[in-house]
Amino acid sequence: MQNTNLSAEKIILGIDPGTRYLGYGLIRTHKDQVTILQYGVLNLTKYTTQGAKFLKIHERVLHLLEEFMPDEIAIESPFFGKNVQSMLKLGRVQGMVMSLSYSKQIPITEYEPKKVKQSVTGNGNASKEQVSKMVEIISGIKLESKLHDATDALGIAICHHFHSKNLTSSVKGTQKGWGAFVNENPDRIK
């Protein structure tokens, strides 16, 4: 049973997907209080095949889900860059995380990188260092400065916390498109 009381304590897993480095961060929220439970980076550079990388990602994310039993998951959506192959690989990682989320009936929400930066720092073009510094300020703890993928994941989780009052996430998927519009605007549907 998912936690629907916004003032109740909630555990959020943030994921910064990657095929070289996957960042993850777990936070506990209660009202405006954010406590970091765990964060880290899964280094996938030592694995030579996509299959080995995907297996490692599957194992680690499943372990996090079973150990911390998060109420919700937030993941960064892939953005279109110059390299289409990179975007496809990131999409596969994102799909794997989404599948694990659905299998555990945990709601998952996607956030664009600019949205995360805007929510955490107030600047959609903020650097990784600026995101890391604001995560430190919000959480009240000093973070390891070299783990930018992990601090990005914490930023994604914090972004989700900030936006959770406006979301009606469900296990059916992310709150985008017509389904979200209908849920958020029932009075406008005839």
Q: Cα separation of 151 and 23, whole Å?
A: 8
Tokens of 167: 């979301």
From the candidates 71, 72, 110, 149, which is the catalytic residue? 149
From the candidates 71, 76, 110, 152, which is the catalytic residue? 76
Strand partners, 20: none
Q: Is 32 a catalytic residue?
A: no
From the candidates 16, 71, 72, 152, which is the catalytic residue? 16
Q: Cα separation of 46 and 170, whole Å?
A: 36
First-last CA distance in the chain: 32
Q: Cα separation of 102 and 183, whole Å?
A: 20
Q: Is 152 a catalytic residue?
A: no
Q: Is 76 a catalytic residue?
A: yes
Q: How are the residues of the chain apportioned to helix, strand and coil, as percentages rounded to the nearest 5?
A: 45, 20, 30
Q: Cα separation of 35 and 130, whole Å?
A: 19
Would you please indicate which residues are annotated as catalytic (active-site) residues?
A: 16, 76, 149
